[in-house]
Structure 1
Amino acid sequence: MADDKSVRNQLLAVCLVLLYVLDVRICFCEENASDEFEEYLLCRQCGLEIAKASDLNKRPSRAAHRQRNDTIAGVDGVLIQLFKNPQENFFEVITAETANVQQHGQPYRQDTWWPGFSWRISICPRCGFHLGWFYEPFAGQQAEEQTFVGLILDNLLYQKYADNLLVVPKSYRS
């Protein structure tokens, strides 16, 4: 019995050393990576790649209760806006030119946060998690504006953060 515990402890020590070496190599690669590496925002529920950081854009709305700029996934000055829906729920929303989302339902004109745009719920194409809203100019309206996606910040995960998560089996926890 004692030998089993000793072997398990040695194996754990070897695994921890290997994880440390791997972490050092990853940090080295990240520091020396070229600018060609594209950061993604992932679905917080299943990890699917949803939007490229380079597709984030500023689309201000007068319906926002509050606005702030922040750095998200390596992009400086991303506009984060706080909105409240008719059910009194608050959402911090960022906008993107495009995103890997599935549109759900018919477009709605009422209660839009961007005048002149109708909206549809956007969900993750893999797991169906609510990620935000797809906006398009009102039908029949000649608009210079293009479609865009409003993404709920709390329902996304930064790829860089997700890549650094470490899951430890319960048997190794003290």
Structure 2
Amino acid sequence: MHGGGLESCPIPQPCRVLCCRDCQAKIANQKDVFSMSLEGPQGTYVNPGGYVHETITLHKAKGVRVLNQAPSTEYTWFPGYGWTIAECRTCRKHMGWKFTAMEKHLKPDKFLGLCRRSIFPLFKADHNGRDLIM
């Protein structure tokens, strides 16, 4: 086969990090994604204004900054949890919410729900080690 064969086409490996769609800063590791429901780590929720949010739940996200305010339980998508707005630590774009258990028996005691529209997955190419955005 002459140039352009399969050997020159990078095959992406599984997602390793999630990045801010605006500034490309690293937000979280893929290994921190987990399920809060039987449907999996992704959910679709509607706020009181009718805006639809597709979210992914994570145990932690080091690239996120949580606003310094008390959690609100008003219109929460997770019964027993209060929410606080979370932004990109670098560019301050809205990323989603930190959810905090308001009742001691709930597990996990806290987690994040990040908006899919605010993040993108970063993949690792298999042979050159270049990062690929998909």
Please say whether Structure 1 and Structure 2 have the same fold, judged by a TM-score greater than 0.5.
Answer: yes
Aligned equivalents of 1:79, 1:134: Cα separation in 2: 15
Bigger radius of gyration among the two? 1
Q: Name the amino acid aligned to 1:159.
A: L
Q: Superposition pairs for residues 24-173 of structure 1, below 5 Å?
A: 24=8, 27=10, 39-60=16-37, 78-100=40-62, 101-104=64-67, 105-138=69-102, 141-145=103-107, 146-160=109-123, 163-164=131-132
Amino acid at match of 2:94: H
4+ residue stretches of structure 1 with deviation over 4 A?
A: none
CA distance in 2, matches of 1:55, 1:154: 18
Shift of 1:160: 1.8
Q: Quote the sequence identity (%).
A: 25
Point out the structure with the larger helix share: 1
Q: Which runs of 5+ in 2 are unaligned?
A: 125-129
> How far apart, CA to CA, are the structure 1 residues paired with 2:61 and 2:105?
21
Contact 2:33–2:57, Cα closer than 8 Å, also in 1:
yes
1:106-159 CA-partner distances (Å, limit 9, x unpaired)? 310111000110000100010001111001111xx3224121000101110111
Q: Distance in 2 between matches of 1:85 and 1:91?
A: 8
* TM-score normalised over the length of structure 2: 0.77
Letter in 2 for 1:92: E
CA–CA distance in structure 2, aligned partners of residues 90 and 163 of structure 1: 30
Aligned partner of residue 113 in structure 1, secondary structure: coil
> Pairwise CA RMSD of aligned residues?
2.8
CA distance in 2, matches of 1:82, 1:38: 21
TM-score, with structure 1 as normaliser:
0.60
Give the number of aligned pairs.
120
Residue 4 of structure 1 is matched in structure 2 by: none
C-alpha contact 2:15 2:123 (8 A) present in aligned 1: no
Instruction: Give, in whole Å, the separation in 1 of the partners of 2:83 and 2:106.
Output: 17
Deviation readout 1:64-112 (Å, 9 max, x if unpaired): xxx5xxxxxxxxxx53211000111101011001112111133101110
Question: Which segments of 5 or more consecutive residues in structure 1 lack a partner in the other structure?
Answer: 1-19, 32-36, 62-66, 68-77, 166-174
The equivalences for 1:3-18 within 5 A come to none
Report the Cα offset of residue 163 of structure 1: 3.0
